[in-house]
Amino acid sequence: MATMDDNQRLMQDFRDGRGHAFDRLMKQFVKPLTWHVYRLCRNKEVAEDIVAETFAKLWKTRENFGTEANVKSFLYIAARNASLDYLGSVQRRVAVRQGELDEDLVSRDIDPLTHIIHAELIQALVEETARLPERQGDVFRMTYLEGLTTEEICHLLGITPNAVFLAKKKATAAIRKAFAGRYLHLYLALVSLLSRGGQVN
């Protein structure tokens, strides 16, 4: 009799209501999901609340999920919708480089696949940034995931603008190389981001 592989066993345990399976899924997705929500809300406490509520909904409907891909899709779409509800309820818009968040970002008509690809890019960036030397990782994260300026990074890390430039250059080269080797389907999105010098929103 064939045995289930680890992912199948994990999902079966999750559907059966075993806490260790839920904890494993939460550990896998909670950090990138929180980043994803924070980029919309720009409020750490709100982002954490939305993510907690999203995982609670996942647990209540656990019998409906057959694969980790199903779980991932649900988490990102549900969390994004909750974020949009929050933005609408307080009549706020997320500040981006040009000012207010464009209306198309708060439209529910965006293809869900676009949300998932965007979320995968963030998750992959978080994972690869954690593999960098500490200084390079800090500079890359602050620049592309938090949207801080060179001046702000210098102040927070106590380093010079030249040190920021060098750390960013080395980190960018390492991230590009990692993406080209591990995340081919996300590589073009990353190249576009880095060529603009922008941040992941």
- Which of 19-33, 38-52, 79-93, 135-149 has the highest average model confidence (pLDDT)? 19-33
Answer with the residue of higher pLDDT: 129 or 146: 129
Domains of the chain, CATH where assigned: 1-110 (1.10.1740), 131-201 (1.10.10)
Cα 111 from chain centroid? 17
pTM (two decimals)? 0.51
pLDDT of residue 14: 94
Residue 99: pLDDT over 50: no
Query: Average pLDDT, whole number, for the chain?
Result: 77
What average pLDDT score do residues 54-77 get? 90
Distance CA 89, CA 49 (A): 15
User: In this structure, what are the phi and psi dihedrals at residue 58, rounded to the nearest 5 degrees?
Assistant: -60, -45
pLDDT of residue 126: 78
Q: Are 175 and 140 in contact (CB under 8 A)?
A: yes
Helices (H), 132-199: 134-140, 150-157, 161-182, 184-196
